[in-house]
Structure 1
């Protein structure tokens, strides 16, 4: 596998980081607020695990608009296992190297599978930052993943206009000492 043009390895690395964090979440934490005002921790977990299923569905030949971006009910103590099951589905769905160049029906456009995977790296790294702020605000995230996701965000997300079909708030300033993942979060409208 050529990881310079094959984002599957990077996506799995992003899921590794996410899984370590989700394994630390207890049922008592699930109502904590997150940097996403519409989501408490439970709802953001549902959105994030649902996103892994969406990516799997694309790899299986489905269209992004045909599957919900959130999970159904998951027991409070089952989030880590739900993420593992979603990951297993995604790995099976994207096993064929030909999918990297094949067109998939992603968010708002038909794109090569490789581009969809890049977008999901960005999504997963961003939501890992969000979840980290709710679980362990001092947690340190993988800087290489943060840089890669930030580069994708700069490439695919305009700094303006935001809102409407662009589901992110205005770019916010990042602190001078911000790590790459915090820079990503502020580019996508989060307050650091």
Structure 2
């Protein structure tokens, strides 16, 4: 996929996540999420941290400290908004396609192309938007172009024993179907479309914690 197209799709899902996060109340932060290791507070901290990590990588930074979990502070929504603004600005760089990304939570052995990095970020925040919406009991919809791309990425991610390993990006695919492509995407990436009716252990990109 051309990087400019991917950049647009990534911005859509990232802004959707922010739209949903702005609806969070203080009482919501203690709620469980489809990422079973986290309350909504923990999920939001992870999401903000990852934005900063990807932004730092886009700026040529490689130190793992850029991926260290950040506190949400007194205004979690504003903290998240700042992280969204940072990553979208970083991804808007005119020469982004020429840059290499050091993503230590994916690999410390290699760097990644901008297209790969955007793909990782895109699918992560497509699913995290669903996570937040489910937690809040709100609907979330995406246009066909977003879902087509998301389904392609989700199907391309290997589903094997590696997903059970500490630090795996996603838990094992769930044998579940739903009426929408978004249901299929989240099932392929280890979530039950019918959550919370069916609780599924999840993994995130932080070592030994499921997303």
TM-score bracket, normalised by the shorter chain, equals 0.7 to 0.9
92 and 176 in structure 1: CA distance in 2 versus 1, 3 angstrom threshold: closer
The CA distance in 2 between the partners of 1:180 and 1:79, in whole Å, is 30
Q: Where does the alignment leave 5 or more consecutive residues of structure 2 unmatched?
A: 194-211
Q: Which residue of 2 aligns with 1:184?
A: 185
Shift of 1:46: 0.6
Pairs within 5 Å for 1:1-192 = 4-6=2-4, 7-63=6-62, 65-68=64-67, 70-75=69-74, 78-106=75-103, 107-108=106-107, 109-137=110-138, 139-144=139-144, 145-155=146-156, 157-161=157-161, 162-164=163-165, 165-177=167-179, 179-192=180-193
Which shows bigger deviation, 39-48 or 128-137?
Answer: 128-137
Shift of 1:69: 5.2
91 and 191 in structure 1: CA distance in 2 versus 1, 3 angstrom threshold: closer
What CA RMSD, in Å, does the superposition of the two structures yield over aligned residues? Answer: 2.0
Query: Could you tell me the TM-score, scaled by structure 1's length?
Result: 0.86
Q: Where does the alignment leave 5 or more consecutive residues of structure 1 unmatched?
A: none
Query: Could you tell me the TM-score, scaled by structure 2's length?
Result: 0.79
The CA distance in 2 between the partners of 1:83 and 1:149, in whole Å, is 23
The CA distance in 2 between the partners of 1:43 and 1:34, in whole Å, is 9
